Structure 1
């Protein structure tokens, strides 16, 4: 069935909903924590992609991976950092803190593109960066004033996600500019493999219960592998601003699910600061979209 624009919009909303279940599912783990959480999720993501990619791309998979060259592995490293940092951050701080911090990805990407690719930043983007910075400072400053050291640790770990995402996007852009076709889904496969190999030593001895492993298997398959494949397909139909705006629904869905499904109520400072971040991002994308049209 052809993927029309309307179908792609609804599918992207479904993708963000699938992405957003990580926080609430993690809150129901019994024994798994730290690097073991990342290991099991990445392990099941790897298994799922090893099944999905040959079915979707057939014999073209390996030639595409070879044609991507070094960029595939750099992108894979970035995905590995994102996988690991995201799950570790969830064990250190609240779901709302992690998701709002991750939402800074487009702004970090703009800054990295300015340095690495020479892209000029519009005044609206500089304003969005300032507003988002104020929102983050407000959100975390209030919590740090209460003396919670885990908030700072969780923040620093969560910041690795948008930074790695920005580097990943830059690598993809450089690859396309050089005439190499870098397929993001095989890069996710490489990232899952690297994440499994690097987190296993730190995860030993494995202490997850069967209940934990089943939940992390759900995350690996339905929160990461399948939605990543779907998101790449949607990105071929939707405009970049549409994808960026719809991806922000993960923040809303994720906070709501953690609140309703695990009783993790976001603090007023998180709601206020996070709202400012989301407002800055939405305004930047809408103004940019209007200017391009």
Structure 2
């Protein structure tokens, strides 16, 4: 896969991720924790079907190992902390806190993977973060407990992207050892979905969703979580972890645009200016990248 193809595919992933906000605007009864429960439940069902076709009975054996479970816990935190944080603080606080993901990922990649981060990417991270802060700056405030919970999302994402890349690069570096030299990390997404579903059920009970809501939540579970998350795991073998996190910032921008186009929520001038900064940062980072950018090989310990 070329670098450009990987970037375009990652943007498709963020496009699918960004559908959550506009779809949930059309729900009738499901709210809060119940949305997360059903979304994770349908995510788990879709993953069992997809991975079952891909791996057969070997799927259950692939759900073993420290790396797979560590990644699974990261996915579970990413799936659930967002909704828990929304119940404790404002949407603006949560989204601005989540915009720290590229910064954390770049730091983790530098410290744990010894992976140099290009200067253009540092600048892009700063500009994109400033853009998201501009978009929601006027709405900041409220309890800090939600911010602390929201911090779990960028921290878990940074840990997960670095872990996936380390495992993927380790597999390529030891290809001669055979196909079992590195664990298959796709089942980690299923582990995360199951953990999220189990954690949310007590908080979501009693369930209120009807057939209309279940149809929309089923769409989110399959096309907003299961498919893009599997693609993201694959792309962690092609793109540096800090670049994946930076491209993921497009999710916020796209989410605002979909709410504007399909839910009648006008973003306002601050969101348009901030979104322009995010878009400019993403375009500049990719436009200035050398044509043959590849993940930097890990140094031997």
Question: Smaller-chain TM-score range?
Answer: 0.7 to 0.9
Q: CA deviation at 1:283?
A: 2.3
1:132 maps onto 2:107 in alignment: no
1:105 maps onto 2:98 in alignment: no
Structure 2: 5+ residue runs without aligned partners? 172-180, 295-301
More moved, 85-94 vs 195-204: 85-94
Q: Secondary structure in 1 aligned to 2:186?
A: helix
Give the Cα–Cα distance (whole angstroms) in 2 for the partners of residues 172 and 7 of structure 1. Answer: 19
Which of the residues 57, 60, 63 maps onto 1:62? 60
CA contact (8 A) 2:249 2:278 kept: no
1:40 maps onto 2:14 in alignment: no
Which of the residues 92, 100, 118 maps onto 2:114? 118
TM-score (norm 1): 0.77
TM-score (norm 2): 0.76
Corresponding residue pairs, total? 283
Give the Cα–Cα distance (whole angstroms) in 2 for the partners of residues 106 and 268 of structure 1. Answer: 25
Q: CA deviation at 1:7?
A: 8.5
1:25 maps onto 2:23 in alignment: yes
More moved, 190-199 vs 207-216: 207-216
Alignment CA distance shift 1:87-1:218 (3 Å)? farther
Q: Secondary structure in 1 aligned to 2:56?
A: helix
Give the Cα–Cα distance (whole angstroms) in 2 for the partners of residues 6 and 128 of structure 1. Answer: 18
Which string of whole-angstrom CA distances, capped at 9 and with x for unpartnered residues, describes residues 164-208 of structure 1?
111111222444566662433211000000001111111122222
Which string of whole-angstrom CA distances, capped at 9 and with x for unpartnered residues, describes residues 214-249 of structure 1?
22112112221133334545666x655997787565
Match of 1:149 in 2: 142
Match of 1:212 in 2: 213
Match of 2:223 in 1: 222
Which of the residues 154, 161, 165 maps onto 1:169? 161
Aligned-pair RMSD on alpha carbons?
3.6
Structure 1: 5+ residue runs without aligned partners? none
Q: CA deviation at 1:12?
A: 5.7
Q: Secondary structure in 1 aligned to 2:63?
A: helix
Query: Which structure shows the higher helix fraction?
Result: 1
